[in-house]
Structure 1
Amino acid sequence: MKTAEGKAKGTLQQYRDNYKSFTTFLDEFDIPRSPTVIDRDTIRHYINYMRNDSVQFKGNVYISDEEKKRGLSDSTINTRLKTLRVMYNTLEKSEGLIDNNR
């Protein structure tokens, strides 16, 4: 959908990366990937997970385990939440697939 709107390749890659982070969280906690199941409590859980449990630079082989720490920066969390807002706004407004009153 966003490709059709002419978004930059970097923006689209960031959307993909942030969406992957969210779906990894959902899978880790056995939460269905359905937009009709995900609610405010799920998003709050995701925020707390990013703030307290997510590992910075996870999977980066060039950074030692000592340099990796738990908890993402506020900037990273906000960027990931922006991606979710874009996705949900698109599903709600453009596609009419979800109800925003949850």
Structure 2
Amino acid sequence: MAEGAFSPDPDLVEALRALANPVRLQLLVWLRDPERHFSLDGAIADPAEVGVCVSHITARVGLAQSTVSAYLAELQRAGLVRATRVGKWTHYRRDEQRIARLVATLGRTL
């Protein structure tokens, strides 16, 4: 790069890439308020503490479970959500601290 050229934060670039997909962005928005956006009948864990089970997310979004899992894995790699296993089920919740840091970095960058 030329002298004085901008070098973006790689974590920010990865997060923005993950959020560029409208379904992944929608999932992150829904996970902000899980009780409002998901039918949690039969939930085996507290969605605020542990997160929302992939089966509940799949039912809401209407895509194949494998597709939803791939989208959530991408959000996890970007540090936007955390996964927790409860028995044989994986639950996802937002990583609010990480999201706040990324938003602050974005604010400083732009």
Q: TM-score range by the shorter chain?
A: 0.3 to 0.5
Asked which structure has the greater RCO (Cα within 8 Å, sep 6+), the reply is 2
Q: TM-score, normalised by structure 1?
A: 0.39
Q: What TM-score, normalized to structure 2?
A: 0.37
Greater radius of gyration (CA): 2
Which structure has more strand as a fraction of its residues?
Answer: 2
